[in-house]
């Protein structure tokens, strides 16, 4: 409950107003535009005139499944690059990727995505009250919430396994953006799965994907042990499964972790959906303990949590694939320009996650998506005094993100913690139980 957080309505100064486009983004985009118009387009026209050649989906793309009929025909003319396509459609051009993403977004906003969680989950979201939404300030004193300690309640089961990067279709550890000599890449990543004692075998469990595993898994386990049994209906958690996923290694630009977390695409969401979740379901030890174990396909039963770049990754997973993940928790979110400078996504999002709130202002200018979003920033978070032109001020970035979510009418909660720093554990210990309760508010188990 709000009283447990000792929070009050935020009275911090209003977030700075972002310019529609800053100089770097303008020059970047115009530079791209000039390069395309001055080099590629004349050659394409000449080639078409001289050879009768047209680039179509069948020439360069490696599409692995058919597109839905209601999407119509893909673009006839496309760029010559090759990249992973959204939605697990294989590989193809940036033109084709944008076309697919537009249709995926439209399907998600119309709740026409196939599988479970369609109309029923949409109705669920519409009936959730706005209680607990808004801007809050906590600190400078912090205490450990008793619900994040061992209170003697029944314990769940913890399972651990590994996934070799070399066997992944999405993150093999060999991307051209990486500098493995300077920023080593893991050979395998550890996965931790906590099934709470309140889970009943055979139920389709909601779940929370946690980035940078096993970071903060101890607190989430205590929350599950205590709050799935709460007698207070307003402070009770569903028996969700915690799936804590280790990153691919190192940090920042040109690292595997940075590639996974700071890239503006649906690649990480697809990795979790198509590789991690099926691997969880196949684990022998877990199957032995829970022969009928299942995970929900309802996107309202699928949450993502992270801190720093892991927080940016949580938002990006929901933003690009709201048909898969809709409940998002970000602490000290890295909504700054930390995408690799040579990433293909730079063509569409030249300032990386900074584009969510500034420059392109994606949140403000895009039709609202079916998402529930928690955001947080610390008073002394990373580079809190940096000027805007660095695109690396965490406080500015999170203030603007919260303001954009509010203006767009999202169910959101924004927390500003006084006298605290980046991913401060004291903030987690003081707030995480309440954050989880708020994030799962309105969830209706299958």
Which of 61-70, 75-84, 389-398 is predicted most confidently? 389-398
Local confidence band at 26 (pLDDT 50, 70, 90 cut-offs) = very low
User: For 82-97, what is the mean pLDDT?
Assistant: 79
Give the pair of three-digit tokens for residue 130: 């706005």
Contact 153, 224 (CB under 8 A): no
Peptide bond between residue 140 and the one before it cis (omega within 30 degrees of 0):
yes
Q: What pLDDT is stored for residue 264 in this prediction?
A: 98
Q: What pLDDT is stored for residue 349 in this prediction?
A: 97
Q: What pLDDT is stored for residue 127 in this prediction?
A: 62
Distance of CA 175 to the CA centre of its chain: 20
Q: Supply φ then ψ for residue 3, to 5 degrees.
A: -65, -30
Distance of CA 133 to the CA centre of its chain: 20
**pLDDT tens digits, 300-314:** 999 999 999 999 999
Distance of CA 441 to the CA centre of its chain: 19
Average per-residue pLDDT for the chain:
86
Q: What pLDDT is stored for residue 2 in this prediction?
A: 45
- Closest among 284, 197, 277 to 237, alpha carbons compared: 197
Q: What pLDDT is stored for residue 100 in this prediction?
A: 87
**pLDDT tens digits, 202-219:** 999 999 999 999 999 999
Residue 109 has pLDDT above 70, yes or no: no
Give the pair of three-digit tokens for residue 68: 């839905």
Q: What percent of the chain has pLDDT over 90?
A: 70
Distance, CA of 33 to CA of 28 (rounded, Å): 9
Contact 79, 289 (CB under 8 A): no
Distance, CA of 288 to CA of 89 (rounded, Å): 34
Distance, CA of 295 to CA of 279 (rounded, Å): 12
Residue 192 has pLDDT above 90, yes or no: yes
Q: What percent of the chain has pLDDT over 70?
A: 81
- Name all domains of the chain by residue range, CATH numbers in brackets: 2-9+121-439 (3.40.50.1820)
The model's pTM: 0.78
């Amino acid at each position: 409950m709000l009283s447990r957080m000792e929070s009050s309505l935020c009275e911090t100064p209003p977030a700075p107003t972002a310019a529609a486009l800053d100089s770097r983004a303008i020059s970047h985009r115009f530079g791209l535009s000039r390069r395309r118009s001055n080099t590629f387009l004349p050659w394409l026209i000449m080639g078409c005139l001289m050879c009768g050649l047209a680039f179509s989906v069948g020439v360069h793309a490696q599409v692995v499944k058919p597109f839905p009929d209601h999407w119509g025909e893909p673009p006839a003319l496309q760029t010559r690059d090759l990249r992973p396509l959204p939605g697990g459609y294989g590989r193809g051009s940036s033109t084709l990727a944008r076309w697919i993403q537009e249709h995926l977004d439209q399907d998600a906003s119309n709740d026409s995505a196939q599988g479970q969680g369609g109309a029923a989950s949409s109705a669920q979201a519409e009936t959730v009250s706005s209680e607990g939404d808004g801007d809050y300030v906590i600190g400078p004193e912090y205490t450990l919430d008793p619900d994040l300690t061992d209170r003697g309640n029944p314990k769940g089961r913890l399972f651990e396994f590994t996934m070799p990067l070399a066997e992944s279709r999405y993150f093999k550890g060999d991307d051209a953006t990486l500098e493995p000599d300077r920023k080593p890449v893991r050979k395998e990543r550890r996965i931790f799965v906590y099934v709470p004692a309140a889970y009943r075998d055979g139920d389709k469990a909601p779940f929370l994907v946690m980035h940078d595993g096993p970071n903060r898994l101890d607190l989430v386990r205590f929350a599950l042990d205590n709050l799935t049994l709460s007698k207070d209906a307003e402070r009770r958690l569903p028996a969700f499964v915690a799936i804590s996923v280790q990153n691919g290694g190192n940090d920042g630009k040109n690292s595997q972790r940075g590639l996974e977390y700071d890239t503006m695409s649906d690649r990480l969401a697809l990795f979790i959906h198509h590789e991690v979740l099926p691997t969880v379901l196949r684990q022998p030890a877990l199957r032995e303990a829970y022969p009928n174990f299942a995970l929900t396909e309802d996107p309202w039963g699928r949450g993502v949590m992270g801190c720093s770049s892991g927080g940016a990754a949580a938002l990006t997973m929901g933003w690009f694939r709201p048909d898969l993940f809709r409940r998002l928790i970000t602490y000290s979110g890295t909504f700054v320009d930390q995408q690799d400078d040579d990433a293909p996504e730079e063509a569409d999002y030249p300032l990386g996650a900074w584009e969510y709130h500034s420059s392109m202002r994606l949140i403000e200018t895009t039709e609202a998506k079916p998402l529930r979003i928690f955001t947080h920033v610390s008073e002394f978070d990373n580079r809190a005094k940096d000027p805007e032109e660095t695109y690396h001020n965490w406080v500015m970035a999170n203030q603007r993100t919260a303001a954009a979510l509010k203006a767009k009418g999202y169910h959101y909660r924004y927390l500003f913690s006084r006298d605290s720093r980046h991913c401060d554990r004291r903030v987690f210990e003081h707030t995480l139980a309440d954050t989880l309760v708020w994030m799962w508010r309105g969830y209706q188990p299958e």
